[in-house]
Chain A
Amino acid sequence: MSRLPPIAGELIDRRHAIEFSFEGRPCSGFRGDTISSALAASGVKVFGRSFKYHRPRGLLSVANHDVNAMVQVHEAQRNVPNVRADVVPVQPGWDVRAVNTRGSLSSDRLAVLNHLSPFLPVGFYYKAFYGKRWFPRWERMFRTLTGLGSVDLQAPRLVTPKRYDFCDVLVIGGGPAGLAAALAAAERGAAVLLVDENQALGGSGLYARGGEAHSAEQTIAMIERLRAHGRIRVMTEAYAAGYYADHWVPLVTRDCMVKVRARSVVIAQGAWEQPAVFRGNDLPGVMLASAAQRLLYRHAVVTARRVAVLTANAHGYAAALDALGHGVGIAAVLDLRASLPGGADAAAAELMRRGVTLQFGVEPIEASAHGGSHISRLDYSYAAGANGSALGTGRKRAQLALDGLWMSVGFAPANALLHQARAQVVWSEALGQFVPHELPAGLYACGKVNGVFGFAERLADGADAGSCAALGLSARGVPPRAPPPPAAECPSHPYPIFAHPKGKEFVDFDEDLQIRDLENACQEGFDSSELLKRFSTIGMGPSQGKHSHMNALRILARVRGQPLEQLGTTTARPMFYPVPLSHLAGRGFTPERRTPLDAEHAARGAVWMPAGNWRRPEYYAVPGRSREQAIAEEVVAVRTRVGLIDVGTLGKIEVHGPDAAEFLDRVYAGRFSNLKVGMTRYALMLDESGVIIDDGVVGRLGPESFYLTTTTGNSATLFREFGRLVTWWGLSLGLVNLTGHFGAFNLAGPAARVVLRQHTALDLSEAAFPYLALRETEVAGARCRILRVGFVGELGYEIHCEAAQAARVWRALSSAGERYALRPFGVEAQRLLRLEKGHVIVGQDTDGLTNALEIDADWALKMDKPFFVGQRSLRILERLPRRAQLVGFALRADAPRIPKECHLVLDKTEIAGRVTSVGLSPTLGRCIGLALVTPKVAAARRLRIRIDGAEVIDAEIVEPPFYDPAGERQRVVDPG
């Protein structure tokens, strides 16, 4: 039985049993168990198969960075791959399966790869793709063999909340140092948020006990004080996924990501225990000593009856005492060091007193599993006799029969967030690890990540960091940190790596990388830490190097014959652990804007389409009519009677001030300083390279006041840009953005004047209100601005008014237009109407490279102005050959098939442009369009367009406008 009697401080609730299955086998655990602890308690030894060689694997760290313990979980509605069994609480009814097997975990067909390892050298993956010939074969093979878990394509979309949080001091890590830091900061008056990735606070203070209760009792007492403290909030099962500028830290919880803005941050994330590297170090049953302690004290689980402890520090001795205290036999304590530093310490003495054999100068040779997949024997050599006695000359080989091997040979600081925060770290020979040297303002480190390992010392270091973090927020400034105490011993062995002629000494468990893989990579020239990582893929698996990076650096240092500190480390990028995509995405906020006429459109049967971030009527559905028929009828209504379209989505901006005209002359290519009050003018906007970025209409309200419109999609961007330019140029003017506060609609068609006349006293005669004029007056009792413009090519009035008045005016005009069969028309009809006129839509008929010369917009350019944005580039472009040319085209009326927008224009077999606009003109009875093509093609008489199905059709190049080229429709007489 793996489950022990109750242990003080255990996290499991034995009153609530949980039944689940693993690989189809019934298993049980208790509430508070992780998947790993419940499986271990159920006697499971093999948890998965390794990524490359499909070797059986068991628990290694029980600390959230094992590829060994990643599983697929099937529950009622979900099938979730790559669940981290070490940290995810097991739930009733779960069907848990290993992720990397073909067949089953116990009978994996791909286990044969373990014997093919000599044919899969480092870099094999890259080298396989050198040649084109075998590329498809390799690709198929890799796609078949690789990948962890299976993605459920039917999985429901999970939308998680998005949350922000704030605190004075954020303490990351709830071990002894973090607890002390949180308490100290709170005692200094700071609002503290303490986060820990585990389901309970305490960290190693609760599980690294060394056979006695003192540290655990002190840790528990601190947790109780902390829970009762009014200024400390605690988040468990939450990890800090990254560190961003200004102390932004994303915390990933089970349900969502919380973005925390802290005034200062204390990093107390501890250190990751590191494995020794020797042949067979990946066998199930070989685990980190801290993993065994976690299982023991958190979940009351032991996984072996007789273990050896392979160690190089005091933690291994403490783990041995923990084992002995819970009925686990100790085959031997095997110390890699020549002797205990400073002689036998208390733990070693106690072990010897209890009859445990201690051997020194140990070098593991091979862990093996005779007749099974679980460790049963360890072969090793040693340099000193039992309990440190002299061995005589030479080394001696030995072997132990056992069912577990605990490794405690060193640590790597969990300093990824420190690196992301641009902290400077330096190598400490005394500690055998990197330690913080200079930290950014407001950032503090304490505990093992700061190179402090003793329990009492960690508490003091944490308290100091917490105090400094809190006091540093005051106006008095940051007090100096107390220097870390000198280390009693070096907790990390300098080279816990033992090569074997037959290999299979694993440095990286994620990627099945052995010592020789790294040595070979170095020999091939990939001999810097960054290159070694990329070529060998070390540290690129699920653990992201948490248990492999330090040992890889040690091997690299030895190969290069350089001190480790000269090698540098690889970049520690966010995220610290993998983050579910649902958490990264969070709740989607996609603002949608509606015009004040939205309800009017809905009542008329509008079929909606997005335009920028607005919703607009594409057309109005008519019972018994198809979409195309309805759109065509709307076009005909505008051409023959009158139509009304909502153009409230246009950007609407006022410019006031003595420099208003000067400003417009600079931002637009046209001239507006000579625009008469009460008139409007087309305005074309370019960027510095002469590329068209927007167009609209500018009207003059007064000597120093203008009103302009922009395209729908650009209104917000241009308003911001205008503000920037005003500041940059130091002009005296003010900008008012009316876009959302004003409604606007265009009354267009031969009957527009008579319809409008019914609701305004304004003289609408051609003489009093000519084409391109602007007037301010009342329409249907509402104060309005009316622009006489003609985007759709008919007599038209664009009416602008405050949003609250818009629906009333719209309804009044609609009612007045009933006699003339007025039709509201949508975006699609408007596109056809303007296409008939050959009017360009910026962003549709132009692209990110189209300059004003290429669409023949010379008439809108006033090159004689002293300056406008893009002018200098245009002067250069004028002297260069054109890149493209916008042309009009038409198909025969009986053309059986018509192109679509973005269909390619061909010059023989080469791409020579694209169709930008196309439609079946109800007015002309044939297909017309615009295309952006090469000058060579534009000079021809016909276009060759490749349409769907790779069919190529011919079109005649026709100079636009296709309709009313003389503009006579603007001067139509009123209908009777």
Chain B
Amino acid sequence: MSAVVVESSMLQFEDCSARPRCGCKGPGAESWLRTQGYRVPAAPNSVVLDDDGVLVARLGSSEFLIEAVNGAAAGAGSVRVRNSRAQLNERAQPRDVYAVARQDSVKRLSGSGLSALLRQICSVDFAPLLAAGYEGGIGGDEQPVLLTSMTGVGVLAWPRRLASGPAVTLWCEPSYAHYFWNTLREVSIGSVR
């Protein structure tokens, strides 16, 4: 489902763009997600992972991102997300729900150089978020997710602490992908533009 690209011994970029993903918005979005069997975070700017490894991120009062972050492409989580996406794209959409195209470029960054990189590209203090006891496991509590700006690009950031160490997953618009990931690589290796 994803490809790990080791940029250096200090920092790893794992491409997660191909994960099944969809987005929805609207006054009926939350109840529709619940009818679809998803756990829905109560607070904006938070995520939950359900037992199938499906992430539901609440990006505002009525906007959601749904993504299969764990499990195989044919796994139950991936199938559910694909089905939801198909429903959203039907001409007869669920009432008060509309699809939000999510063609994001997504990577998970991890490694000992992660904190140093984040401090060069973003004004948010990720240290307490990466140090907190979010295990990133299935069925866990709500975790924070941030809509912020990095290197001048609006991104969605999901910081957490995995068994292997801190990691942050970043979503950006595909039109920024070339610039954004290259800039992160350049910053991470100390080169300059």
Contact = CB atoms under 8 A, between A and B. Distances in A.
Is the pairing of A and B real? yes
Given A595-B175, A596-B174, A598-B178, A741 B102 contact: yes
B27 to A, nearest CB: 8
User: How many residues of B sit at the interface, in one of the four size bands?
Assistant: 35 or more
Interface in B49-105: 62, 89, 91, 98-104
A164 B151 CA distance: 12
A161 B183 CA distance: 12
A440 interface: no
Interface string B97-140: 01111111000000000000001111101010000000000000
Nearest to B124: A164
A591 interface: yes
A589 B151 CA distance: 6
Interface in A702-720: 705
Given A259-B123, A734-B98, A590 B173 contact: no
Contacts of B62: 734
Contact of B151 (A591, A598, A654, A736): A591
Contact of A166 (B98, B101, B103, B125): B125
A588 interface: yes
A734 B93 CA distance: 15
B39 interface: no
Contacts, number: 92
Interface residues of A, number: 39
A500 B100 CA distance: 80
Interface string A156-198: 0001011111100000000000000000000000000000000
Nearest to B190: A161
Given A164-B122, A166-B127, A594-B175, A589 B103 contact: no
B25 A590 contact: no
A739 B173 CA distance: 9
Contact of A654 (B98, B121, B125, B173): B98
Contact of B100 (A593, A596, A736, A776): A736
The listed residue with most B CB atoms (<10 A of its CB), out of A162, A259, A590, A593, is A593
Contacts of A738: 101
B144 interface: no
B153 interface: yes
B98 A741 contact: no
A379 interface: no
Given A656-B26, A740-B103, A741-B101, A589 B174 contact: no
Contacts of B123: 164, 259, 261
A740 B175 contact: yes
B177 to A, nearest CB: 8
Interface string A131-165: 00000000000000000000000000001011111
Interface in A240-273: 259, 261
Contacts of B178: 592, 594, 598
Given A591-B152, A591-B153, A740-B173, A159 B193 contact: yes
A742 interface: yes
Nearest to A736: B100
A442 B184 CA distance: 34
Interface in A726-784: 732, 734, 736, 738-742, 776, 783
The listed residue with most A CB atoms (<10 A of its CB), out of B27, B99, B152, B174, is B174
B101 A593 contact: no
16 contacts: A159-B193, A162-B121, A164-B122, A261-B125, A587-B120, A591-B151, A591-B176, A593-B175, A656-B25, A734-B25, A734-B98, A736-B98, A740-B174, A740-B176, A741-B103, A783-B89
Q: A-B pairs with the 7 shortest C-beta distances?
A: A740-B173, A740-B175, A159-B192, A166-B125, A593-B175, A741-B101, A741-B103
